[in-house]
Chain A
């Protein structure tokens, strides 16, 4: 076998060797697991509103419950198995965000509680928060300047 010289050659070599992931099966699994997580969220939401909790708080309770469930399952090492099976189905819901915090926190415990747990917690969640919060501030400034929502709603 001739040695690989350029980056492009390497890329085509990798593409050649990696098995084609069965996209239909992946999408089906992502669909029903992701849907199920959202449906569980909706059930929690209905339970909250039927007890007279207002909608905003009910949505927060849904997020917190799902985050707790995800952290719990990650700690028991079950969530990783669900993640392997469901792919984006467990990544895209807020469970994936929680898992992206909990999983490195556990993994880097051996590097200490400050530089290990404290720092590595945010390897994925950090960028998500940075871009989410920055965008929301821009949205707020745009709203002050142009009143964007009324633009859409008229």
Chain B
């Protein structure tokens, strides 16, 4: 167990969340817009090859926040472009991120099947 890496993941992951919290408190951005902004920024940073230095430094501290999801889309696209060319720009992103997306959709559906719809308390 690499405790230093876990500590770095804690600090960097926490810091990325604090930026989001400041955006929530100080601006009128809705959570949906913040998530979109994070993914887009992560994809651009991933595409420029900058984000992977953060991943090398902090591991899951960089990949678990949604910016990491974005950088994964970019990384998948670029590696697919390198192997298959033009068509890779359209197939690579989702292929790389498929695990997380499919899991979220599948578990979400299962959760809606098993849960009782709750009546909102006024």
Contact = CB atoms under 8 A, between A and B. Distances in A.
Interface string A115-141: 001000101110111011101110111
B89 A60 contact: no
B52 to A, nearest CB: 9
Task: Tell me what chain B mostly uses at the interface: helix, strand, loop, or mixed.
Answer: helix
Contacts of A45: 59-60
A117 B86 CA distance: 36
A39 interface: yes
Task: Tell me what chain A mostly uses at the interface: helix, strand, loop, or mixed.
Answer: helix
Of A74, A88, A149, most buried by chain B (CB within 10 Å of CB) is A88
Interface residues of A, number: 77
Given A38-B9, A94-B66, A153-B49, A102 B90 contact: no
A131 B40 contact: yes
Contacts of B65: 34, 38, 92-94
**For the side of the interface on B, what is the size category?**
35 or more
A131 B36 contact: yes
A140 B92 contact: yes
Contacts of A38: 9-10, 12-14, 58, 60-61, 64-65
Given A34-B13, A42-B60, A27 B18 contact: yes
B79 to A, nearest CB: 10
Contact of A143 (B47, B97, B110): B47
Contacts of B76: 136
Interface in B29-46: 31-32, 34-36, 38-40, 42-44, 46
Interface string B73-84: 110111011000
B108 A35 contact: no
Contacts of A23: 21-22, 25-26
A80 to B, nearest CB: 10
B112 A102 contact: yes
Nearest to A59: B63
B77 A60 contact: no
17 contacts: A32-B14, A35-B10, A37-B64, A39-B7, A39-B60, A42-B59, A42-B60, A62-B64, A68-B103, A68-B107, A87-B21, A88-B19, A89-B14, A105-B112, A131-B36, A140-B93, A153-B49
Closest 3 CB pairs of A and B: A38-B13, A34-B17, A140-B89
